[in-house]
Structure 1
Amino acid sequence: MDEKIESADISLMTEIATLYYVEGETQEVISKRLNVSRVKVGRLLKRAHAEGVVDVRVRQHPSASAELEKELLRRFNIKRALIALDHADEDTQRAGVASLVADHLSRTLRDGSIVAVGMGRNVGAVAENTFDQGERKCSFVCAIGGSLRAGEYMNPDHICRRLAMKFGGDSETLYAPALVQNPELRDAMYENPTVRQTMDRARRADIALIGVGDVSENSNMVRMGWFSPEEIAEARLSGTVGDMMGYDFIDLYGNPSVTPMQGRVIGLSISDLARIPDVIAIASENTKAVGILGALRTGVIDTLATSVTNAHTILRLDEATPDSKG
């Protein structure tokens, strides 16, 4: 009996949500039309939000960040900047940045497109914030190996699968660990035919989704056990400010940093990314401004997705620390 009531409520909830959000009817009109109380209409609309039947997103007007975007494009020679409004809550901030990336993908993906997909919470959030997309025959390919400690949300394989479900494409796993003990073992893994085949396909991607990491004791790489807090502290002392996709560690000027952590991750390198037409760097956390600046100065980023605060901080940092290469 309870199941029947539940099913009836779900059907009614969907009908009410459609009338309210799609057809623009008021709650009072819906109440009279469906012969249910105003209280029940309001309750089912709230439930539609909670259960994901309805997705409401507030988009900022393009003019709100137009000047910031223009200055970022001029300063760093990138193609576009996707700037999300600031939020105090980290998860809300991450979702706001990811939504802009998801919208960008929906506009640019075509049948036959290949997307190389990195690891991390910001990249994973893109899949979670992709809604109502038309089906495309595109491919999402892991651009870095996997890690048990990363979990489903952050692992590239699971992110690829979720993106493929949302956009209607297919996914390809990189059957290799993300981190190995030394560069020699990494080079040997690259010679494996299965690994080489997926890596070659990722290198031919039209778009790459990558995260930018900060070098701190609270970074994902420390939480996953890749590197110790001591190794991170040593890297910072040597001038390392961040990493791109967990692969290349960089200094403030976009140069490869000198650290024992370098060269142990199986994934696309900066030189690989340089050949991909649209490399999208995603970083929502306000702790990452210095790492983002270093990433922008590598010259391989085409699209930056971040927050208003980060955008302002990056521009101020760039003025205070002129690029030694330019």
Structure 2
Amino acid sequence: MDRPRKPQSTAETSTVGQLAEIARRYYIEGETQDAIARALDLSRMKVNRMLREAQDAGLVEIRVRFHSSQTRELEAEFCERFGLKHLLVAPEARSIEQQRTNVATLVSHFLESNLRENSVVTVGMGRNVARVAAVQTSRAFDQITFVSGSGGASEAGAEGNADHICRALARRFGGTATTLYAPAHVPDGALREALMRHETVRRTLNLARSADYALIGIGDLGPDSHMARMGWFGPDELKRAQAAGVVGDLMGYDFFDIEGRPCNEEIGGRVIGLSRDDLSRISNTIAIASEPSKTTAILGALRTGAIDILATSLLNCIAIRDWIGKR
């Protein structure tokens, strides 16, 4: 016979009314955990624990309602064709901003389910990666390390830099953030190599290389691309790169063609950060791309073999499948 379970101390229990109030504020009213903690004179960690308690008690039921037979078929097809572990497919949205949020929400939920204490997460720059840090979470950890996988750039603004994203993720999930103290972009390869040998840079990148997970964006060469907005490359350089077959990049600098082959001759080798080979050795590299303009970039990125998990929209998945079917 099972032994009766000892009752929890009053310091560890919460009333149904308290749990319901916190769950209502968080899931229905959309308040942040920090705001709830201030309003109810609780610590943020206490609010986080009570949200989990509300789920365990059956007061909160979370359902992923948009996973249809179509997305299951796409996941099976993409995993077999490209060697993915998972395909995270978000529903279509009316605006690109909402699309980024839909995709980021899937990534955030994936991390909540799969991260473990003492995990290390390498983080890249860009809007899609940053949006993951803006999504509300219902689980926190104590010993997660988020480490910048690329240097910083004033042109990106605070929210677009990997170090800012790391700090935001650490606040959301718990743990600590480690900054890569180096510029993201340098004018020539010789300076890049010198900085890559610097002890501080080398030590941080070695930590990033040892990560259990990597969060990265997939870039393209369009007018609204990360590189175009940063101004790192001039229009003529980008045109030459496109003429040479470049369709996209990983981490903002490791370029590839539609077949996933390296294509760095025109504009590669100028960014401080992890390389494609480094990402290939991280066992769970999550690539995030929301925009419909990135179909060919996503396909090329999938063919690099560096990606383990792709998070994107349903429309992008269908477009990639159709592209392959026509060739």
Shorter-chain TM-score bucket reads 0.7 to 0.9
Q: 1:20 to 1:141 in 2, by over 3 A?
A: closer
C-alpha change, 1:184 and 1:96, in structure 2 (3 Å) is same
Alignment deviations for residues 6-59 of structure 1 (CA, whole Å, 9 cap, x no partner):
xxxxxxxx99x828938x9xxxxxxxxxxxxxxxxxxxx8xx448896999973
Distance 2:22 2:270 in 1: 55
Identity %: 45
The residue number in structure 1 matching 2:64 is 59
Question: Counterpart in 2 of 1:79?
Answer: 85
Q: TM-score, normalized by length of structure 2?
A: 0.81
Q: How high is the TM-score relative to the length of structure 1?
A: 0.82
Question: Larger Rg: 1 or 2?
Answer: 1
2:278 is the counterpart of 1:272: yes
The one-character-per-residue Cα deviations of 1:251-301 (angstroms, maximum 9, x if unpaired) are: 000011143210101111111011100000000000001000000001111
Conserved 8 A contact 1:93-1:284: yes
Give yes or no for contact 1:117–1:142 (8 Å, CA) kept in 2.
yes
1:135 to 141, 152, 162: 141
8 A Cα contact 1:60 1:85, kept in partner: no
Question: In angstroms, what is the RMSD of aligned CA positions?
Answer: 2.5
Partner of 1:21: 24
Task: Check whether the contact 1:178–1:266 (CA below 8 A) recurs between aligned residues.
Answer: yes
Select which of 181, 205, 215 maps to 1:209: 215
Query: Gaps (5+ residues) in structure 1?
Result: 1-13, 25-44, 322-326
Query: Does residue 242 of structure 2 align to residue 242 of structure 1?
Result: no
Find out whether 1:184 has 2:187 as its counterpart: no
Please list the CA deviations of residues 215-257 of structure 1 after superposition, one character each: whole Å capped at 9, or x if unmatched: 1122121111111222112111110000011020100000111
Once the two structures are superposed, residues 52-98 of structure 1 have per-residue CA deviations (whole angstroms, 9 ceiling, x without a partner) of 96999973343351111111111111110000001120111000000
Between 237-246 and 253-262, report the one with greater CA deviation. Answer: 253-262
Question: How many residue pairs get matched?
Answer: 285
Aligned pairs (5 A) from 1:109-188: 109-188=115-194
Determine if contact 1:213/1:288 at 8 Å carries over to the other structure.
Answer: yes
Structure 2 Cα separation of the partners of residues 236 and 156 of structure 1: 26
1:109·1:136 contact (CA, 8 Å) conserved in 2? no
1:262 matched to 2:265: no
CA deviation map 1:91-112 (0-9, x unaligned): 1100000000001111111111
Contact persistence 2:240–2:266 (CA under 8 A): no
* Mapped partners of 1:188, 1:20: distance in 2: 52
Q: Which residue of structure 2 lines up, in the alignment, with residue 108 of structure 1?
A: 114
Distance verdict in 2 for CA 1:156–1:258, change over 3 Å: closer
1:228 corresponds to which residue?
234
- Cα offset, 1:302, TM superposition: 0.3
Paired position in structure 2 for 1:33: none
One-letter code of the match for 2:260?
A: G
